[in-house]
Homo-oligomer: A and B are copies of this chain.
Amino acid sequence: MKDYIIHSEWKVIEDGFNPDNNRISESIFSIGNGHTGQRANFEEKYSGDSLQGNYLAGVYYPDKTRVGWWKNGYPEYFAKILNAANWIGIHLEIEGEELDLATASIQKFRRELDMRTALLTRSFVATLPSGKQVEVVAKRFLSMKQQELGAIQYRLRSLNFSAPVRITSFIDGDVMNEDSNYDEKFWDEVEKEAQGQEVFLCMKTKKTGFYACNGQHTRLLVNGKALVVKPEILPKEKQVATVFELDLKEGQELLVEKFASITSSLHYKKEAMLAHGKQAVQQAQQKGFDQLFAEHCQLWEQKWETADIEIKGDVAAQQGIRFNIFQLMQTYTGDDERLNIGPKGFTGEKYGGVTYWDTEAYCLPFFLGTAPEKVAKNLLMYRYKHLQKAIENAEKLGFNHGAALYPMVTINGEECHNEWEITFEEIHRNGAIAYAISHYINYTGDRQYLAPYGFEVLLGISRFWAQRVNWSEAKQAYVMLGVTGPNEYENNVNNNFHTNKMAVWTLNYTLKVIDYLKRDHPYLFEEMIQKWKFNELQETAVWREIIEKMYFPLDEKSGLYLQQDGFLDKEIIPVQQMNQEERPINQNWSWDRILRSCYIKQADTLQSFYWFQDEFDMETLTRHFDFYESITVHESSLSPCVHGILAARIGRREKAYELYLRTARLDLDDYNNDTEDGLHITSMAGTWMAFVESFGGMRVKNGQLLLDPFIPESWESYSFKLNYRNSHLEIQMSDELKITNHNPGSVSVTIWGKEYELVENQEVVLSKEVKI
């Protein structure tokens, strides 16, 4: 855990230069616009430790799998979001001496990320080894308005010298991924062009054949006046640059403005990319930095308008929650159904930047609550588009007749992960993808989505479950053998409660969907029957039989549903009673010891109790919470939020607050010592969930929005916003509760168990003893 980020309500601030934290800061100060994003690398040369990162959404490379012992069914490759061309480069040489923060002496270093506008500002005074002193202020942003644009304003003032200065403004495509399995480079140069202030570089990925084209217009001003220097062009392999040379006088300020275009063949025709890039940088430099920035800020304002959470009385908490929301909005804008949310977003390479079940379980609720309906819908459409691949994936594992198994890790629908216990067995993910459909419809009311998209996915997943279970003669019930639940500290277990539950739930839900389709969309349904060779009578009979006769591990004595068969054979020692020096166990224990211990990495049985909380009475929820929470080590950043929400639900508000705090500032404080690899983007969505569902007590039951707010004692007030169907709600909580619907029309909301009709702009004020 570190504590060097200065607390501030709207800003993330680093004051003073600490090269040891540089990789962490590079992650924290990352910026992005949903289509491209980058770590907070320096513009000028930096010979110190750094992880360079520029990423293009959806542009990946199939890196050959590295595995010691191959197993049948393993994927051949791991798709990785690529480190792409570095376009921020502005190198400066002063009388032959390079400005390099690793060799200069640095004062007044400050990095500031304005979350309201996604502007990154960095300033410092550097004394070069020769004694020459410069003052630098660099600003940059990635346009939210025009997603292929980035702009930099780089100001340098001579404090104590007059000397010739050489400025190289470049694009460097000669980059690689640090986590490349076989130290390969993934990009080839296609073409480049250089005409004075404008240079362009087009690259192509090996194997996948994605094109990426970077362009830039660089201009130079001295003391505010554009300088007409004849720039030199410096092309190297996979590089292109504009070079300016001038004499800088003591006290003079030099301003380099760089207008960059960043396009990929995911969004532009290969043939047209160069031309489009030229046009884009032309227009950008004509508009200028300030106008581009103003347009960009307008979009951010709209985003905050619907997504902000305000906390009064706790600046650290305020900064934490805003940082999470900010990063999520940078990562995914929801305007392209081919994109998704990687665990590190645009802030690092780890986990390949690809899609996990995090999207359905954590990110979907955030985007449902804070963004237009289409954003969440596009997350569902992403999976719909991968249905055929999911069917092929299941076929590889021996399933047939349209059974679909969605991958554990994917970017294009194909499985990437290659640990058998995860890839082949962590199949509850299939349930999460089905659940997301119901969640979306329950929240939005958009039942149209079921025909054909929702139903087709549900059919494939239901077929999978029906084939994946088997009849146990011994138990006279259906069982599911050889699975791994969300708690990855257990592998290859039998009858994981959560997985069995997801299977039965999916089958049930699909049956209900069929009833709805037959009634409301009979023709469309008939078409789907033909398309999928769906033998309704026969297949649903099997499903009903499974629903009726599925086995769930239950300990009669304690009344506990067990995480899996045999769970109570373990020694049950509460986390609080274990030797705290041995925590986290994933760093201190061998894997086999972890596996046979009772300790749970993240919500597993409780994931079901969270999703299906309305099926259980409060006493049952409490009994299960108490048992499982006492042996959960929360060694995944995705863990505390679900437990926190359940804690709030059963009235354990202090516990809910304690669990919330574990993730709220995870990256800002580098809680797990791994922020240097990138931010925990998908966990951030879990933090939002924990806020809104714990403190706000928000959930939707049978299409009705419920709220059950309380406020942690240390806070004065908080407010959050919710898009819910056609309403836009603002919930303000202090000693009293105020709720306003800012949209036209009215909406019915159940607050503290009582129904209210919220009419446009009519504030409802309620008071209750709610402090914990």
Contact = CB atoms under 8 A, between A and B. Distances in A.
Contact of A471 (B479, B494, B571): B571
A671 interface: no
Interface string A57-93: 0000000011111011110000000000000000000
Interface stretch (A294-302, A588-596, A605-613, A713-721): A588-596
Contacts of A472: 568-570
Contact of A68 (B398, B418, B569): B418
A198 B419 CA distance: 54
B492 A491 contact: yes
Q: How many copies does the complex hold?
A: 2
Contacts of A289: none
A103 interface: no
A419 B491 CA distance: 13
Contact of A591 (B72, B479, B481, B592): B72
A475 B472 CA distance: 21
B68 A68 contact: yes
A482 interface: yes
Contacts of A482: 592, 595-596
A593 B588 CA distance: 32
Interface string A467-508: 000111111000101100000000111110000000000000
Interface string A376-399: 000000000000000000001110
B474 A568 contact: yes
A223 to B, nearest CB: 56
Interface residues of A, number: 51
A566 interface: yes
A474 B558 CA distance: 11
Nearest to A493: B492
B570 A72 contact: no
A367 interface: no
A8 interface: no
A586 interface: yes
Counting chain B CB atoms within 10 Å of each CB, the highest count among A420, A479, A491 belongs to: A420
Contacts of A420: 591-592, 595
Contacts of A491: 421, 491-492
A421 B398 CA distance: 23
Interface string A415-431: 00011110011000000
Nearest to A472: B569
A759 B72 CA distance: 57
A565 interface: yes
B481 A570 contact: yes
B590 A397 contact: yes
A590 B72 contact: yes
Nearest to A74: B591
A451 B64 CA distance: 53
Contacts of A493: 492
Contacts of A474: 555, 568-569
Contacts of A596: 470, 481-482
Given A72-B589, A424-B591, A595-B482, A470 B398 contact: no
A481 to B, nearest CB: 4
A671 B73 CA distance: 24
A484 to B, nearest CB: 10
A580 interface: no
Nearest to A397: B590
A587 interface: yes
Contact of A587 (B72, B397, B492, B555): B72
Nearest to A418: B68
Contacts of A593: 397-398
Interface string A561-601: 00001101111100000000000001111111111100000
13 contacts: A67-B67, A69-B418, A69-B419, A71-B591, A73-B592, A396-B590, A397-B593, A421-B491, A470-B596, A472-B568, A492-B492, A494-B566, A566-B566
Given A65-B68, A474-B568, A494-B569, 16 more contacts: A72-B587, A72-B589, A72-B591, A73-B590, A420-B591, A421-B421, A424-B590, A424-B591, A470-B570, A472-B570, A473-B572, A475-B569, A491-B491, A492-B492, A495-B569, A566-B566
Interface of A: 65-69, 71-74, 396-398, 418-421, 424-425, 470-475, 479, 481-482, 491-495, 555, 565-566, 568-572, 586-596
